[in-house]
Amino acid sequence: MRAVDIIEKKKQGRELVPEEIAFLVEGYVQGEIPDYQVAAWLMAVCLRGMGSVETAALTQSLVHSGEVLDLSSIPGVKVDKHSTGGVGDKTTLVLAPLLASAGLTVVKMSGRSLGFTGGTIDKLEAIPGIRTRMSWEEVVAQARRVGVVVVGQSENLVPADKKLYALRDATATVDSVPLIAASVMSKKIAAGAGAMVLDVKVGDGAFMRTEAEAQELAKVMVHLGREAGRQVAVLLTSMDEPLGTAVGNALEVAEAVETLQGRGPDDLRALCLELGATLLGLTGRAVSLDEGRGVLAGLLDSGAAWDKYREWVGAQGGDPDPAALPAAPVRQPFPAPATGYVREIRSRLVGQAAGLLGAGRGRLDEVPDPAAGIVLAVKRGDRVEEGQPLGYLHTRRLKTLPEATEMVRCAFAIGPTAPEPQALVRGRVGADASGEGFGAG
């Protein structure tokens, strides 16, 4: 077999056999096939697509490039969640302790931010003292004792995806449905949980710009999960405005804490309840989404989820008190340019502006400033008066402040009429399509 022949075959739009895909993945990980050939193949996949057998073969090759975690020594129902990446998406920080307070066990390997999207590990690391690298023995012990553990992805988990993802990032080959599906599902399958909910973000601040693309990705991921014997449900959710009001690591932790204390922005709370209720249904802990939402809302409002957060963060060495979070020296308001209604808050620009302020990672070796970011004072549909603060920029980077300010200014569209309300959950795949019960989907 030769890599060049496989590239040629895909370039012509022909279906590869699993052995050819395994040959490329294994050869790449072992350093026998160079970046340029794999990059050419990835571009051919982006342009020509892959069939379901090819996507399943790629997923399996990725999974078997490293270790597959065995969670069977941890008692109870083990669950996982994943988001395809967005702006202001701090749901894991709320959902992980919330689900644990509902009696599920959450063992989650999370990633870091790249580009305009945030990453859970960077958010967690804003918490003073927290450890996000733990041995497997420590992970198992904490999962048994506390019911929740969130750590960085271990080096040995799907190493092929790590290498391929970096190459895709540098060769404009990220936004391909089969490549994203195989990348996400290989990591979820290798991480070992039996049931998972996937949050596929749709819109301006997401890799999937249209609902049709997001639907297709969701269907492929559900199929891959089921083939691997996992229960999978997908929610398609809006990323047409940032989730909640905070964008930036410590700022997002603070917002997650508010939500765990029964307050917090409505959209963040609602999304956590939807994702959580879906998992309660998948695992047989609730007979309907309504029942699941009610159980979880009760745990937020009673303080039980907040207690679990403190136990979890404390177990990983962190200080759970939000007053201990780092704060930026500069907090600059940005005013509304006109009176009217907020018609649009473009997530991508808000994410990029937060990155300029220091919250993100433009390159893999950059260390984000945990205190930097943006807090919005308004949401889509709100009425504003000219000069009123639309939000606040938090930073210590005075040099990039003007550029970031201009960027958030461009993110907002203010108009004379209120926009049509938008649904937060745009669709479901894998649970009952009506969203009101659970069945074979």
Point out which residues bind ligand URA (CB under 6 A): 84-85, 174, 179-180, 183-184, 207
Q: Which pair of tokens denotes residue 396?
A: 């210590």
By beta-carbon proximity to ligand URA, the closer residue of 160 and 184 is 184
| Minimum distance, C-beta of residue 113 to ligand URA, in the bound complex (Å) | 12
Residue type, 293: R
Count CA atoms closer than 13 A to 88's CA, side-chain side.
30
Contact 155, 130 (CB under 8 A): no
The nearer residue to ligand URA, 39 or 127, going by C-beta atoms, is: 39
Cβ closest to ligand URA, residue 65 vs residue 283: 65
Residue with Cβ nearer ligand URA (168 or 269): 168
Q: Print burial letters for 359-382: b (CB count within 10 Å at least 16), e (below 16).
A: bbbeeeeeebbbbbbbbbebebeb
Specify the residue, 89 or 369, whose C-beta has the smaller distance to ligand URA. Answer: 89
Closest approach of Cβ 173 to ligand URA, in Å?
Answer: 9
In whole angstroms, give the CA distance from residue 246 to residue 253.
Answer: 9
| Torsion over CA: 389, 258, 292, 77 (sign) | positive
Lookup: tokens for 389: 């603060």
Q: Which of 60, 91, 71, 69 has its CA nearest to residue 154?
A: 69
Nearest distance in Å: CB 70, ligand URA: 22
- Shortest distance in whole angstroms from residue 204 CB to ligand URA: 16
Pick the catalytic residue: 10, 108, 162, 168? 168
Kindly state the smallest distance separating residue 183's Cβ from ligand URA, in Å.
3
Q: Is 183 a catalytic residue?
A: yes
Q: Cβ 161 to ligand URA, closest distance in Å?
A: 7
The first and second tokens of residue 298, run together, are 């009760």
394 counts as catalytic: no
What's the min distance (Å) between Cβ of 85 and ligand URA?
5
d(CA 311, CA 308) in angstroms, rounded, equals: 5
φ/ψ of residue 210, rounded to 5: -115, 155
Q: Is 279 helix (H, G, I), strand (E, B) or coil?
A: helix
Catalytic residue among 161, 199, 240, 267: 161
Which helix (H) or strand (E) segment is 170 a member of?
Answer: helix 159-170
Name the one residue in this structure whose structure tokens are 């993945």: 25
187 is known as an active-site residue: yes
- Identify the active-site residue in 78, 82, 90, 123: 82
Residue with tokens 């936004």: 175
Q: How far is the CB of 3 from ligand URA (least distance, A)?
A: 21
What number of residues does the chain have? 441
266: its two tokens: 């409505």
* CA-based nearest residue to 65, from 152, 159, 191, 153: 159
CA nearest neighbour of 345 among 86, 85, 121, 120? 86
**Closer Cβ to ligand URA, 64 or 379, answer by number:** 64
Active site residue 161: yes
| Residue with Cβ nearer ligand URA (111 or 358) | 111
Q: In 3-state terms, what secondary structure has residue 204?
A: coil
Name the catalytic one among 162, 187, 269, 428: 187
Whichever of 140 and 217 has its CB closer to ligand URA, that residue is 217
Check 183, 186, 238, 347 and give the catalytic one: 183
| Cα separation, 188 vs 191, whole angstroms | 5
Neighbours of 119 (CB within 10 A): 22
Query: Which residue carries 């012990």 as its tokens?
Result: 141
Please report which helix (H) or strand (E) contains residue 201, including its range.
strand 195-202
Residue 316's nearest CA partner among 78, 118, 90, 150 is 150
Active-site residues, by number, are 82, 161, 168, 183, 187
